[in-house]
Structure 1
Amino acid sequence: MKKLLFASLCLIVGACQTDTGNTLKTVDDTTAQKLEKTLQSGKTVIVGDVYFEDRYCGGSSISMVNVATKEHQLIANGAVVSLGLWKDTAVVKPGTYRITAVKCGTSVVKLGGNWADILVGTDKLKKALAPTFSVKEGEVRHIGTLRISVIKKETLFSNARVIVTREATTPEAKARAQQALAKIGRPVQFTN
């Protein structure tokens, strides 16, 4: 009975963690100047969206690793507290990146690289299935929509099973990103 009540509360709390509107912060003049200097130094500015099923996750984050250098990066969107990070954006080196974790509210989906996956032998499979993207020097890129989809619902005896896919940037997300990043002075590149 306690487990059933706890699961119901988790569903209620989890449902409150999504939002119907995108909270991408509009870049002000000061931030635009800082980002432009960063772009001139050869780095890239990236943004992305996280959805749980069909609902936008306002308090989300995307963790990624540069495949060549193994450097870890993070995009913190909306209400996520991030010390020392750009809000809603990440400044990264050019290269290919693999998504390592996606957070929506209090739910985190890890996509390989942790000790539990290595121990049970699922690490290579999770890494192979994890979404990837590539960025070039000096570009402003929307990496697309990362969607968390439930493929098996949680029961009393097992956890839910989910999959994370990267989809082309939606027209709505394109409009929001272009508006929010307009002061940078470079066009936003989008995934197909």
Structure 2
Amino acid sequence: MALASQNGEVRENALRQMVAGVDRTSRLVRQLLDLAAVEGAERAPHSAAALSDILGRILADMPAADERVVVETDDKAVARFDLVLLTLALRNLIENALFHSEGKVVVRVREAGEHLEIVVEDDGPGIAADDLPRVSERFFRGRTHSQTGSGLGLAIAQEAVARMAGTLALRNCDPHGLAATISLQAQRAS
């Protein structure tokens, strides 16, 4: 349509749709590759890394993150985890939060006894209460799904966290928004 149209408005609209389609397809392919990486992950030795460094690397690859993501962590928060799995989980949670909200996304790292919790919180619409138990199933998008999501982001995060013997809990915030909490057994770095 873009090539054949003499009307500038029609041509621009066709090109916007093409760009959106390519972006959607690129994200789906990356998520399918992420899912394959999580499923094929061998039990890797845990490496020590500062969580602020991991988050910095993830956010550097997200153009929208500069202005919208706020990280609240102690720069000294260092623990031993499977860095590949943790990176995949966090990237998908942050992408989902950015996609489903228009305001700030807050990422908090906190110690909770023997566990380290990483909370990704957005100000979006949240998830319908009936959908919460199923939302981390592959390709499940719920009743209020957007046209562009694939239903894989939370499934990838859930699988990656489970392979690290952790948990992923999702809860709606009041008055709106979603908080995704990764809880992992803390293995303090020496």
Query: Which has the bigger relative contact order, CA under 8 A and spacing at least 6?
Result: 1
- Normalized per residue, the structure richer in helix is 2
TM-score, normalised relative to structure 2 = 0.31
TM-score, normalised relative to structure 1 = 0.31
Q: Which has the larger radius of gyration?
A: 2
